[in-house]
């Protein structure tokens, strides 16, 4: 059987009266100049996390003493009192919470937990500063409300243990969300999946925090009073903060 393939000269492509179509694959779109997905955001967040890691390593000896204590507070409400009554451990807890604080701001910004369009348009460093400032303002208002609403029949140590429990439960929430998000990043998970995982971790630990704080209050006052304190000092302020974070 003869080969029927006809080989035409190269110039026939230009003289045949038809125009050859050349398909050029589109180049990938440039990354946005601002917002969590920008290169600047990645570099800024990574730089802050590196600095935080260095400080954490320098503080690792105390951290290894405090982490088991905060884990115990997740399981038993009386551990909150034991932790607070030990001044040395209480101060070490506060220091560790301050070291881990930037991680919550970074996770909130990088994975879009805070959805404000204002943060998408400014430099990543300014966006992180805005998130940190808003959170600090929230904590100051919360402390002010706590001081105003403190009942006289609850001992100062018990009230302080309940008030500082936020720092206690923030530590496992920050550590777990950092570890899990890092593992998911290595596995190639999408940002939306990581965001939901972080929210589940924070939500679960916050519910445990509410339960333990209710138990602390109930030990010194009636159940109704404990629920009222909890709604006024924790649930309502957190609902306002969450609503502000989710607004476009």
At 122, is the secondary structure helix, strand, or coil? coil
**CB-CB contact of 102 with 52 (8 Å):** yes
Confidence category of residue 168, pLDDT binned at 50, 70, 90: very high
- Is residue 91 predicted with pLDDT exceeding 90? yes
Q: Which range, 52-66, 138-152, 233-247, is most confident?
A: 52-66
pLDDT higher at 35 or 157: 157
Task: Output the CA–CA distances (angstroms, integers) from residue 213 to 40, 98, 162, 186, 233, in the order listed.
Answer: 40, 21, 6, 36, 11
Confidence category of residue 119, pLDDT binned at 50, 70, 90: confident
User: Number of helices (H) and strands (E), helices first, in the chain?
Assistant: 12, 0
What is the C-alpha to C-alpha distance for residues 133 and 127, in angstroms, rounded to an integer? 10
Q: What is the pLDDT of residue 20?
A: 41
- Is residue 195 predicted with pLDDT exceeding 60? yes
Closest C-alpha among 181, 56, 187 to residue 110: 181
**CB-CB contact of 212 with 77 (8 Å):** yes
Window from 7-16, 63-72, 206-215 with minimum mean pLDDT: 7-16
Q: Average pLDDT, whole number, for the chain?
A: 83
The pTM for the full model equals: 0.81
**CB-CB contact of 72 with 89 (8 Å):** no
Q: What is the pLDDT of residue 247?
A: 66
Q: What is the pLDDT of residue 248?
A: 61
């Amino acid at each position: 059987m003869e080969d029927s393939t006809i080989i035409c000269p190269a110039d026939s492509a230009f003289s045949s009266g038809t125009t050859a179509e050349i398909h050029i694959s589109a180049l990938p779109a440039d990354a946005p100049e601002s917002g969590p997905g920008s290169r600047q955001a990645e570099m800024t967040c990574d730089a802050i996390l590196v600095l935080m890691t260095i400080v954490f390593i320098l503080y690792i000896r105390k951290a290894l003493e405090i982490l088991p204590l905060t884990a115990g507070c997740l399981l038993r409400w009386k551990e909150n009192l034991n932790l607070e009554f030990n001044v040395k451990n209480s101060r070490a807890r506060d220091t560790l919470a301050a070291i881990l604080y930037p991680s919550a701001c970074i996770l909130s910004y990088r994975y879009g937990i805070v959805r404000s369009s204002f943060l998408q348009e400014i430099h990543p460093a300014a966006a992180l500063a805005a998130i940190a400032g808003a959170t600090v303002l929230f904590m100051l208002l919360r402390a002010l409300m706590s001081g105003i609403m403190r009942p006289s029949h609850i001992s100062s140590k018990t009230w302080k243990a309940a008030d500082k429990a936020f720092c206690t439960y923030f530590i496992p929430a920050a550590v777990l969300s950092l570890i899990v998000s890092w593992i998911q990043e290595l596995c190639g998970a999408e940002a939306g999946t990581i965001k939901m995982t972080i929210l589940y971790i924070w939500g679960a630990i916050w519910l445990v925090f509410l339960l333990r704080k209710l138990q602390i209050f109930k030990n010194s006052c009636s159940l109704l009073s404990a629920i009222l304190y909890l709604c006024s000092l924790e649930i309502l302020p957190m609902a306002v903060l969450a609503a502000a974070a989710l607004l476009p």
